Amino acid sequence: MTTSGSEQVEKFQEKFGQVKDEVSNVMVGNDEVIMHVMTCLLAKGHVLLEGIPGVGKTKLVQTLADVLDLSFSRIQFTPDLMPGDIIGTNVVNEDDKGRKTFEFQSGPIFANMVLADEINRATPKTQSALLEAMQENSVSAGGKTRKLDQPVFVLATQNPIEMEGTYPLPEAQMDRFLFKLKLDFPSAEELHTIVDRTTQRDEPSVTRVLDKDRILQMRDVAREMPIAKPVQDYAVRLALATHPEEANCHNMVKKYVRFGVSPRGIQAVILGAKVAALLNRRSYVANDDVRSVLLPALRHRVLLNFEAEAEQLETDEILNAILESVAEVKA
């Protein structure tokens, strides 16, 4: 490994640590979620965050945007929300001489960090408009294609306990999120800390650590991380093990899985593992890095059958069984 490469890894880890510390000054608990959100941002992906109301989803994104010096917008998804409310629309302007012209008024998607709150409450047409913008990094409106300012990071939330009147995301659209994260309810000790921090006269503040240019540079560093063939093979075998038609798959997969992960799932694992390797001060991707991101990268891509739903089986249980059954090969 070259000296410049070592310096890049050190700087990457140092900046990441500073961001995590600043966010933790405001957010209490869920350190792993904070780490995975940052991992997803630096892997050039988007996050689907699941958690009950009031556990800090909005605060997490706002705080992260402040620390990273990025523009922030929040979209509250409702059944009457239209694609134009997200993308923007042409409005008629009249000048001093009475001449009327169309002018594009950009929507909230034209921000670096976008919180799509309760995405499953909007109609499929509106959901598709957001997901297309996420995938293409551009929007089409008024006969023109407009590029979004980089970096673009969408964090979509959904409430796991209120499903009435919602439009669940189709599997093909769920696949566009790099990670799916679960925000747990705080412990008693964490609740005390939250109350102490938020009921005082002065709430905690944060210091800006990064900016857009530095984030884009860190993304490039992550993409350039080398991965040995045996490690990549390990990741591929883990993905193939989610398919019930595979001859040597786990018995739980044969019994409970309807469809395994797509090739996009493997891409998510590799990209997440590259960032994880940098955080662990390595100049290469190891099997441990692959294992550390497997659950957030694949839990929303493995489709369970009716029998699994009837037994209230979680996808994480299937993935943990796969991790135990698939043998590692040393690079």
Q: 294, 283, 176, 297: which is closest to 234 by C-alpha?
A: 294
pLDDT, residue 24, reads 82
- Among 85-89, 158-162, 229-233, 238-242, which is the least confidently predicted range? 158-162
Question: Is the model's pLDDT at 229 over the cut of 70?
Answer: yes
User: Which helix (DSSP H) or strand (DSSP E) does residue 240 occupy?
Assistant: helix 229-240
Residue extent(s) of CATH 1.10.8.80 domains in the chain: 226-331
Q: Where are the alpha helices (DSSP H) in 91-224?
A: 124-136, 171-174, 188-198, 212-223
Residue extent(s) of CATH 3.40.50.300 domains in the chain: 1-224
Which are the contacts of 201, defined by CB distance < 8 A and separation ≥ 6?
none
pLDDT tens sequence across 143-180: 788 898 889 999 998 877 666 667 888 887 888 899 99
- What's the whole-number mean pLDDT along residues 9-18? 82
CA 128 – CA 119 distance, rounded (Å): 11
CA 64 – CA 134 distance, rounded (Å): 19
- What's the whole-number mean pLDDT along residues 87-112? 82
pLDDT tens sequence across 208-227: 888 888 899 889 989 999 99
User: Which helix (DSSP H) or strand (DSSP E) does residue 179 occupy?
Assistant: strand 179-182
The whole-model pTM stands at 0.88
pLDDT tens sequence across 174-189: 888 999 998 877 778 8
**10 Å Cβ neighbour count for 11?**
15
- Among 103-117, 157-171, 302-316, which is the least confidently predicted range? 157-171
**10 Å Cβ neighbour count for 63?**
22
- What's the whole-number mean pLDDT along residues 83-106? 81
Q: 54, 67, 139, 68: which is closest to 104 by C-alpha?
A: 139
pLDDT, residue 3, reads 47
Q: What architecture is the 1-224 domain classified under in CATH?
A: 3-Layer(aba) Sandwich (3.40)
- Among 42-46, 121-125, 155-159, 195-199, which is the least confidently predicted range? 195-199
Percent above pLDDT 90 for the chain: 39
CATH topology of domain 226-331: Helicase, Ruva Protein; domain 3 (1.10.8)
* 52 vs 122, more confident: 122
CA 288 – CA 323 distance, rounded (Å): 11
Question: Is the model's pLDDT at 314 over the cut of 80?
Answer: yes
Strand partners of residue 149: none
- What's the whole-number mean pLDDT along residues 307-313? 91
- Contact at 8 Å (CB) between 214 and 42? no
pLDDT, residue 161, reads 67
